[in-house]
């Protein structure tokens, strides 16, 4: 009814996911921060997530923690190992001091990498052959993983989860979307195998399910185990929402505590992921000429898409009606009305990215009636700010602190 105040009470009520109870249902989604020079978390990264916690979220997510050296996509990506533990402990302590929980997103890039792993001639993937992502790093071929490779990587995910627990994290989020390794197994665009790990979706799910099971066995009684996946890939020949429903059912059956409902692929359908086009200004931030060229080509291939709030709601409803597991809606929540609608539709939590980069205190502002709509314009320029010296930031607020970003968190 026009003029009524949105009912946000459910959004601010506690939520249990596995062994973890969140103080409310707002989650800062994983967004690459660009705040770990040489793979070491910086003081700027600690400040970034501490601000999210102080701003009111129930859970903040540290993005792209690689579970092994050959799992890194970017040269400055965090690796979950003994060297990063003291720095990660500073971050988790800072978040806990603000009353929030914190999750480590654990991932392996597979063939979606811009660096060469030590001692590895070809990056791993579901299938071998031509590697289009490798055009940016000179790795033109990828290698089909053997069963032994899969056993090793699954163990790396479990080991990474145990290290996250040791570092003080409350949850781990297994990244199964956007074209990284586990997504490469799920997607028919990447998975051309002819064994029990390829072909039907049941087979393509086999390895991601094995990873989930090993992580649950490793930490599932002590940490919440979350899975983020693409409910639709948004590109011809890729998984549609029908496959997304089946993936959700299988991950729920395997025991995932929460599913984060994302969409799209980094290379093939990035506007599906973000719900709007990327502006030409983004290329000015990137210094790598090959990446600049790739972004230009991508802008020519993808049609302009204007932003609309709750752009993934129609697809996400299909998942909600199919599973009983807790779900985090992700996709363009930008107002009190949007929060109310997502809660009314039966989703258990809201995963927010750009609106919190714009204003980390938006959750508290919303609660106290100081804001009914985010000031984020969904321009997507924050996405490439990760390549700047100060890391990911909103261009409306200025760049991040480059000096702070050069200092190790535990230094």
CATH number at residue 178: 3.20.20.70
Within a domain: residue 411? Answer: no
86: exposed, middle or buried (Cβ count in 10 Å: 0-12, 13-18, 19+):
middle
Within a domain: residue 195? Answer: yes
Helix, strand, coil percentages in the chain from 3-state DSSP, rounded to 5: 40, 15, 45
- Annotated catalytic sites, by residue? 180
pLDDT for position 277: 87
Per DSSP (E only), the strands in 94-206 are 101-107, 124-125, 129-130, 141-144, 171-175
pTM of the model: 0.95
What is the total count of domains within the chain? 1
3-state secondary structure of 130: strand
CB of 112 closer than 8 Å to CB of 265: no
Written as one string, the DSSP assignment of 367-402 is: HTTS-SB-------HHHHGGGSTT-S--TTT----H
H-helix or E-strand containing 35? none
317-330 b/e with 16+ CB inside 10 Å = b?
Answer: ebbbeebebbbbbb
**Comparing C-alpha atoms, which of 11, 1, 13, 17 is closest to residue 220?**
17
Within a domain: residue 70? Answer: yes
Cα-based angle 8, 13, 14 (whole degrees, multiple of 5): 155
Strands 258-262 and 327-330: parallel
Within a domain: residue 1? Answer: no
pLDDT for position 1: 44
Structure tokens at 18: 């596995």
Please count the other Cβ atoms lying within 10 Å of the Cβ belonging to residue 89: 17
Lookup result for tokens 């090993």: 214
Structure tokens at 28: 């800062």
Distance CA 22, CA 185 (A): 31
Within a domain: residue 5? Answer: no
Enumerate residue ranges in the chain where pLDDT < 50: 1
Distance CA 353, CA 386 (A): 14
Distance CA 409, CA 411 (A): 6
Within a domain: residue 61? Answer: yes
Structure tokens at 403: 């000096």
pLDDT for position 298: 55
Greatest Cα pair distance, the chain, in angstroms, is 63
Within a domain: residue 139? Answer: yes
Within a domain: residue 4? Answer: no
Domain that holds residue 65: 10-405
CB of 246 closer than 8 Å to CB of 314: no
pLDDT for position 305: 86
């Amino acid at each position: 009814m026009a003029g009524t105040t949105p009912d946000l009470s459910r959004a601010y009520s506690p939520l249990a996911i596995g062994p973890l109870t969140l103080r409310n249902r707002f989650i800062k989604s994983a967004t690459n921060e660009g705040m770990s020079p040489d793979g070491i978390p910086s003081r700027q990264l600690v400040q970034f997530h501490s601000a999210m916690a102080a701003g009111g979220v129930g859970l903040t997510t540290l993005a792209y923690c690689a579970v092994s050296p050959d799992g890194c996509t970017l040269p400055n990506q965090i690796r979950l190992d003994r060297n990063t533990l003291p720095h990660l402990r500073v971050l988790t302590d800072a978040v806990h001091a603000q009353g929030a929980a914190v999750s480590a997103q654990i991932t392996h890039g597979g063939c979606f990498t811009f660096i060469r792993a030590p001692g590895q001639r070809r990056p791993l993937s579901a299938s071998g052959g031509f590697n289009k992502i490798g055009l940016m790093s000179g790795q033109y071929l990828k290698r089909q993983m053997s069963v032994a490779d899969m056993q090793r990587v699954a163990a790396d995910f479990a080991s990474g989860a145990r290290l996250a627990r040791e570092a003080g994290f409350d949850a781990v989020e297994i990244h199964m979307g956007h074209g990284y390794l586990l997504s490469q197994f799920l997607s028919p665009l990447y998975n051309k195998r002819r064994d029990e790990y390829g072909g039907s979706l049941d087979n393509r799910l086999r390895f991601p399910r094995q990873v989930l099971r090993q992580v649950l066995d490793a930490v599932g009684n002590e940490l919440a185990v979350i899975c983020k996946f693409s409910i639709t890939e948004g590109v011809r020949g890729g998984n549609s929402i029908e496959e997304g429903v089946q993936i959700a059912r299988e991950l729920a059956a395997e025991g995932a505590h929460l599913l984060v409902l994302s969409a799209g692929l980094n290379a093939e359908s990035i506007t599906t992921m973000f719900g709007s086009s990327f502006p030409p200004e983004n290329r000015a931030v990137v210094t790598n000429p090959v990446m600049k060229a790739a972004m230009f080509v991508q802008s020519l291939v993808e049609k302009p898409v204007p932003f609309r709030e709750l752009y993934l709601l129609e697809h996400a409803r299909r998942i909600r009606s199919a599973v009983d597991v807790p779900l985090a809606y992700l996709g363009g929540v930008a107002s009190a009305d949007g929060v109310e609608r997502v809660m009314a539709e039966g989703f258990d939590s809201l995963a927010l990215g750009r609106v919190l980069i714009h204003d980390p205190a938006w959750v508290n502002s919303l609660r106290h009636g100081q804001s009914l709509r985010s000031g984020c314009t969904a321009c997507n320029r924050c996405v490439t700010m990760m390549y700047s010296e100060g890391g990911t930031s909103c261009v409306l607020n200025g760049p991040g602190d480059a000096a702070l970003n050069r200092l190790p968190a535990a230094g």
